[in-house]
């Protein structure tokens, strides 16, 4: 029977406070803690918690209790776990209860939701290890499957992920790589190094982006309609990977649009449907055999219509700050360990990919999405603010 694999990503960055050129050399508190700001980190976390995390966590706990066949996967950046612990510790308790059911798989990723896999492999390995230690400490689990920041994939990244001991990896079912093949099969990286689960982006985006879009030909999306889509066209060895941001529920798709009742009814239907099985990523890579190689030397991701990495490295502004940021790694390695802890922490928080996402200069539909997430009026404002912070960090290191 076809299998359905649910995976949800939870992440919030430490957003920068307004930081002018006159602050360089004088202030080293980079991250927004002023409640008068719309993008104060505590304010944002609590808002999203009320709209998305708490109601969806409560729903997931209910569904786990009610439907024994319901399973799913979660991953969360280390920086959002820091914010949960500081601003909303009840969310940690809820996650711990869900994990204890043994039907929620936790995935590995970079602690800082960074681009280190592309720019600094040793730093990438360190962040993955730090994330795994945090997951073990909070939830008693060791991740077996890896999800890179924004599903960024290259063959070289897959090779390193395999060397780090993971048993599988998620990736985007990008058309430019599949070239007509189906994303509903299990693939493997070159030389059979790592099983790969590919996001079915059309079906995933039907929920994540199109659910409340009244101009969409299939609106309104109902649970029985979506269940039909998941069962009718697929074969016994198919795996339909529905990967999306957790904030889809309540933040991107509002409660008033009916996203929570939709999901509840969909899980009820899938649980009672004998023609489909819900599985975790580890179950999928254990039960299925890879059918082909999925190979890309060029980075792909789940972002934007191009499904590449131009959301973070698509213009000179982004290239400038990213190259200078990662060039500081060698300098930090040579500092005395007892004096470098705060510098290392700030350097790593500045690696969070959101900072570069805010500098994206794409327009049209992609630009609208970037503007929705950004606390800045323009990409140039984001660049200037980040550039000033980076200048101060460099003076501290030197």
pLDDT digits (tens, 9 = 90+) for 59-109: 999 999 999 999 999 999 999 999 999 999 999 999 999 999 999 999 999
pLDDT digits (tens, 9 = 90+) for 246-291: 999 999 999 999 999 999 999 999 999 998 999 999 999 999 999 9
Q: How far apart are CA 183 and CA 156, in angstroms?
A: 21
42 flagged as catalytic: no
Q: Measured between alpha carbons, how far is residue 28 from residues 85, 137, 318, 326, 335 in Å?
A: 23, 30, 22, 19, 18
Asked if 39 and 13 touch (Cβ cutoff 8 Å), the reply is no
Asked if 145 and 108 touch (Cβ cutoff 8 Å), the reply is yes
Q: How far apart are CA 114 and CA 149, in angstroms?
A: 6
pLDDT digits (tens, 9 = 90+) for 324-359: 999 999 889 888 777 788 999 999 999 999 999 999
Residue 375 reports pLDDT greater than 60: yes
pLDDT digits (tens, 9 = 90+) for 280-301: 999 999 999 999 999 999 999 9
**pLDDT the model gives residue 363:** 66
Please state, for a pLDDT cut of 90, what percent of the chain lies above it. 87
Three-class SS state of 106: strand
Q: How far apart are CA 341 and CA 276, in angstroms?
A: 50
Checking DSSP bridges between strand 104-106 and strand 292-293, what pairing results, if any?
unpaired
What does the DSSP assignment read for 196-257? EEEE-HHHHHHHHTTTT-TTSTTPSP-HHHHHHHHHTT--TT-EEEEEEEGGGBTTTB-GGG
What angle (nearest 5°) sits at the alpha carbon of residue 59, between those of residues 57 and 64? 95
Q: How far apart are CA 135 and CA 166, in angstroms?
A: 15
Task: Give 7's pLDDT tier (boundaries 50, 70, 90).
Answer: very high
Half-sphere exposure for 368 (CA within 13 Å, toward CB): 4
Listed in sequence order, the residues at least 6 apart from 188 whose beta carbon sits closer than 8 Å to its beta carbon are: 194, 195, 196, 290, 292, 293, 294
The mean pLDDT of the chain is 94
Active-site option among 109, 123, 150, 251 = 150
Burial of residue 336 (number of CB atoms within 10 Å: 0-12, 13-18, 19+): exposed
- Long-range pairs of 227-231 with CB within 8 A, sequence gap ≥ 24: 227/266, 227/269, 227/270, 227/273, 229/203, 230/2, 230/4, 230/203, 230/270, 230/276, 231/2, 231/273, 231/275, 231/276
Q: Measured between alpha carbons, how far is residue 40 from residues 43, 244, 285, 304, 377 in Å?
A: 5, 25, 40, 26, 16
Residue 159 reports pLDDT greater than 60: yes
Q: How far apart are CA 50 and CA 43, in angstroms?
A: 11
Two tokens at 99?
A: 């994990």
**pLDDT the model gives residue 35:** 76
What angle (nearest 5°) sits at the alpha carbon of residue 315, between those of residues 310 and 153? 25
Two tokens at 287?
A: 């039960």
Three-class SS state of 188: strand
What does the DSSP assignment read for 12-55? ---PBPP--GGGTTT----B---TTSTT-HHHHHHHHIIIIIHH
**pLDDT the model gives residue 52:** 98
Which residues share a beta bridge with 154? none
Task: Give 367's pLDDT tier (boundaries 50, 70, 90).
Answer: very low
Q: How far apart are CA 76 and CA 13, in angstroms?
A: 11
Asked if 181 and 292 touch (Cβ cutoff 8 Å), the reply is yes
Asked if 148 and 109 touch (Cβ cutoff 8 Å), the reply is yes
Q: How far apart are CA 106 and CA 137, in angstroms?
A: 13
Which residue did the predictor score with more confidence, 35 or 280?
280
**pLDDT the model gives residue 38:** 77
Asked if 359 and 315 touch (Cβ cutoff 8 Å), the reply is yes
| Residue matched to tokens 């630009």 | 367
**pLDDT the model gives residue 338:** 72
Average pLDDT of span 200-219? 97
Hey, what domains does the chain have and what are their CATH numbers? 3-293 (3.20.110.20), 310-397 (no CATH)
Residue 364 reports pLDDT greater than 80: no
What angle (nearest 5°) sits at the alpha carbon of residue 318, between those of residues 313 and 323? 90
Asked if 347 and 328 touch (Cβ cutoff 8 Å), the reply is yes
């Amino acid at each position: 029977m076809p299998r359905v694999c649910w995976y949800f990503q939870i992440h919030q960055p430490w957003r920068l406070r307004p930081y002018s050129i006159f602050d360089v050399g004088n202030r080293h508190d980079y991250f927004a803690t002023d409640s008068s700001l719309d993008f104060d980190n505590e304010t944002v976390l609590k808002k999203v918690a009320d709209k998305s995390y708490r109601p969806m966590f409560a729903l997931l706990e209910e569904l786990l209790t009610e439907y024994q066949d319901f399973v799913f996967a979660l991953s969360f950046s280390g920086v959002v776990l820091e914010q949960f612990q500081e601003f909303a510790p009840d969310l940690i308790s809820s996650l711990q209860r869900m994990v204890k059911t043994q039907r929620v798989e936790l995935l590995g990723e970079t602690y800082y939701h960074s681009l280190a896999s592309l720019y600094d492999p040793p730093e990438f390995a360190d962040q993955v290890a730090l994330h795994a230690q945090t997951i073990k400490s909070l939830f008693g689990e060791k991740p077996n499957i890896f999800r890179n920041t924004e599903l960024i994939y290259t063959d070289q990244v897959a090779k390193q992920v395999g060397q780090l001991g993971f048993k599988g990896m998620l990736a985007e079912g990008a058309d430019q790589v599949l070239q007509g093949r189906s994303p509903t099969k299990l693939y493997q990286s070159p030389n059979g190094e790592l099983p790969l689960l590919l996001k079915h982006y059309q079906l995933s985006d039907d929920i994540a982006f199109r659910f409340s879009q009244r101009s969409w030909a299939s609106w309104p999306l109902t649970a029985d309609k979506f269940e039909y889509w998941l069962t009718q066209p697929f074969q016994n060895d198919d795996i339909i990977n529905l990967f999306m941001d957790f904030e889809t529920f309540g933040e991107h798709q509002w409660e008033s649009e009916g996203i929570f009742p939709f999901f509840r009814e969909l899980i009820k239907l899938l649980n009672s449907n004998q023609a489909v099985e819900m599985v975790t990523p580890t179950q999928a890579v254990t039960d299925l055999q890879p059918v082909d190689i999925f190979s890309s030397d060029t980075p792909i991701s789940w972002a934007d219509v191009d499904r590449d990495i131009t959301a973070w490295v698509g213009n000179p502004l982004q290239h400038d700050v990213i190259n200078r940021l990662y060039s500081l790694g060698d300098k930090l390695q040579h500092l005395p360990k007892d004096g470098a802890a705060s510098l290392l922490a700030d350097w790593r928080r500045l690696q969070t990919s959101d900072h570069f996402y805010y500098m994206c200069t794409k327009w049209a539909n992609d630009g609208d999405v970037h503007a929705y997430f950004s606390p800045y009026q323009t990409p140039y404002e984001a660049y200037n603010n980040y550039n000033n912070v980076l200048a101060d960090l460099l003076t501290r290191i030197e």
